Structure 1
Amino acid sequence: MKTTYIKLSLAAALLLGIYSCKKGEVASTDLEAYATTDSAAVVVSDSISSVASMKVKDKQFIKTADVNMEVKDVYNTTIAIEKSVQELGGFVTNSNLQSNVVSENTYNTSSEEAMLVKKYQTENRMQVRIPTEKLGELLTAINTNKLFLNSRSINAEDVTANIKYSELEGKRNQKTSENISKLKTNKDKVKLDDENMSEGNLQKLSSMNMTDDLKYSTIDIYIKEPQLRIAEIAVTNTTNIDNQYKYNFIYDAKDGFVYGFYLIQRIIVGLINVWPILLIAAAIIYFLRKRKTLKSEQSKIQG
């Protein structure tokens, strides 16, 4: 089954009653509250965007938004956005606030103290879910925190046909189940029934996801501060501490004496390990000197 087919067809089970067979009217009371109106279209009064609060009769939209802007204080703006989301009945699915350090230097201010100076820029990437009917209100609340708006995109995907197609696929799945039940029980029937039930479960899962996407809009938010911030952190003067303990004459002299004593021991032990070589060398030297002495005496006698 193709990906497109799965995406369109797996939403049938829970949305089976969305459209009635008569006049194409919306049957689900849960979806009526935010997906339909009596008018052709409604535009949000604060003019944040006609897409954000657009409602069209007998049409259903999955709405998403993306906001990229610069703010005075990322942390305070994050708190304000999270509070607005909560007040409007939404929730935060992701918030990744971080400070990117541009430079870091330590300056000694006394023999014991120093100052760590960091230059950094703070940013946050958030994703929030908000009831679709509150999308325009939240975008307005977010907009009040901006210093500069880099970009903002709002998308309303018309899924009316998708839902109708899902309804038809749900009926097809139900009809297939009825046909399978009429077959004689055997291994093939069990396999067909299992496959059909699996497809039905996937349709239910997709229906739940689509219903959730219709009810809650997703907003991706990226905020950052336009300029670098400076943090001054009092720390210990580590350079002075290092110099203080870097060299100790008495300890190093004592340690050198002990090391020399053990070095002598190692030399002696090494000589003991090679005593056969030393013995052979001594014997060679002895015979060479004796031979030289004999030659010298013979030369005197001949002379």
Structure 2
Amino acid sequence: MKTTYIKLSLAAVLLLGIYSCKKGEAVAADYETANATDSASFRVSDSVSSAATMKIKDKQFIKTADVNMEVKDVYDATVSIEKSVQDLGGFVTHSNLRSNIISEDTYNTSNEDAILVKKYQTENAMQVRVPTPKLGEFLTLINNKKLFLNFRSINAEDVTSSIKYAELEGRRIKKTGENITQLKNNKEKVKLDDDNMSEGNLQQLANLDVTDNLKYSTIDIYIKEPKYRIAEIAITNTKNIDNKYKFNFIYDAKNAFVEGFYLIQKIVVGLITIWPVLLIAAVIIYCIRRRKPIQKTNPPIS
């Protein structure tokens, strides 16, 4: 009985030790996961300049960015960027996807077939606009597509003073309009009123531009592939086709005979057409010969 109790006690100690080890491993795993998450969060937040997410009380900024980077596949990166812009509530204003041909060679593989080999490098110059509060998130998304970052510039222009000045200008224009209405009606009043309205329209347009630029940030993106690609395109062996139909002796000889016959006809018709000229020339030649004095030959002296 005592032996059985000892065995049960040892088994309980072993189970408790195993459970403690498992629990310790689980805690360690959770700690490592938490550290990894914190590190990832730090990397994400650290990858975006503070200029993209900067907020200062009583300050307003127009934010722009310029990104130049190399990607694995320009087309896939373009589609991904456009989708990210759409998901964030922005829009694409310009996208110029193109392939620059480095070399182009044709290799004949048979009498009928050939292969066109193109070496090219793909690039795209884009301009997108995203809501300003999401500029940092967008820059983080496109940063994940890069193989190599050539440069990235972020600009936050403080327009607080400009907005205040625009408000003062609006009040001045309004006051000027009220003063103009008090003048007597004449041609000068009409011109002053027209100039004041034109200035007011320009000021409203400037205010709309500033409001739009505050709401949406503009990002210029240039992406390209680090090395050229190769495209193999199956085409027809044009050289063999050209040689096949380049010359046909019987056909060309027959055409030459017919064209020669037509040439004779054209010459005859041309001579008939200028018969008056030929007739006048013949008369002139005849008259010249008639008027030419006949030289008498003297007999030889013996």
Structure 1 counterpart of 2:121: 121
Letter in 2 for 1:59: K
Structure 1 counterpart of 2:245: 245
User: Runs of 5+ in structure 2 lacking a partner?
Assistant: 1-43
* SS of the residue 2:51 aligns to: coil
In 1, distance between residues paired with 2:180 and 2:264?
Answer: 95
Query: After alignment, is 105-114 or 271-280 more displaced?
Result: 271-280
Matches within 5 A, 1:147-186: 147-186=147-186
In 1, distance between residues paired with 2:87 and 2:107?
Answer: 46
Structure 2 counterpart of 1:227: 227
String of CA shifts for 1:53-79, please: whole Å, max 9, x gaps. Answer: 000000000000000001111000000
Corresponding position: 1:236 with 2:218: no
Structure 2 counterpart of 1:256: 256
Letter in 2 for 1:166: A
Matches within 5 A, 1:1-303: 45-269=45-269, 273=274, 275-276=278-279
Structure 1 residues 277 and 90: alpha-carbon distance in aligned structure 2, compared to 1, 3 A threshold: same
In 1, distance between residues paired with 2:279 and 2:184?
Answer: 97
In 2, distance between residues paired with 1:246 and 1:138?
Answer: 60
* SS of the residue 2:156 aligns to: strand
* Preserved CA contact (<8 Å) 2:113 2:234: yes
Structure 1 residues 282 and 196: alpha-carbon distance in aligned structure 2, compared to 1, 3 A threshold: closer
User: 1:209 deviation in Å?
Assistant: 0.5
Instruction: Say which one has the larger Rg.
Output: 2
User: 1:47 deviation in Å?
Assistant: 3.9
User: 1:280 deviation in Å?
Assistant: 6.8
User: 1:218 deviation in Å?
Assistant: 0.2
Letter in 1 for 2:218: T
Structure 1 residues 262 and 48: alpha-carbon distance in aligned structure 2, compared to 1, 3 A threshold: same
* SS of the residue 1:183 aligns to: coil
Letter in 1 for 2:97: L
In 2, distance between residues paired with 1:70 and 1:197?
Answer: 50
Query: After alignment, is 44-53 or 66-75 more displaced?
Result: 44-53
More helix by proportion, 1 or 2?
2
* Preserved CA contact (<8 Å) 2:71 2:224: yes
In 2, distance between residues paired with 1:282 and 1:259?
Answer: 35
Give TM-score, length-normalised by structure 1: 0.76
* SS of the residue 1:184 aligns to: coil
User: 1:263 deviation in Å?
Assistant: 3.1
Structure 1 residues 117 and 281: alpha-carbon distance in aligned structure 2, compared to 1, 3 A threshold: farther
In 1, distance between residues paired with 2:116 and 2:280?
Answer: 63
Query: RMSD of the alignment, in Å?
Result: 2.6
User: 1:181 deviation in Å?
Assistant: 1.6
Query: After alignment, is 99-108 or 179-188 more displaced?
Result: 179-188
Letter in 2 for 1:84: S
Letter in 2 for 1:78: T
Give TM-score, length-normalised by structure 2: 0.76
User: 1:283 deviation in Å?
Assistant: 6.6
Letter in 2 for 1:210: V
* SS of the residue 1:57 aligns to: coil
String of CA shifts for 1:30-69, please: whole Å, max 9, x gaps. Answer: xxxxxxxxxxxxxx83441111000000000000000000
In 2, distance between residues paired with 1:47 and 1:264?
Answer: 86
Letter in 2 for 1:245: Y
Q: Percent identity?
A: 70
In 2, distance between residues paired with 1:192 and 1:143?
Answer: 54
* SS of the residue 1:52 aligns to: helix
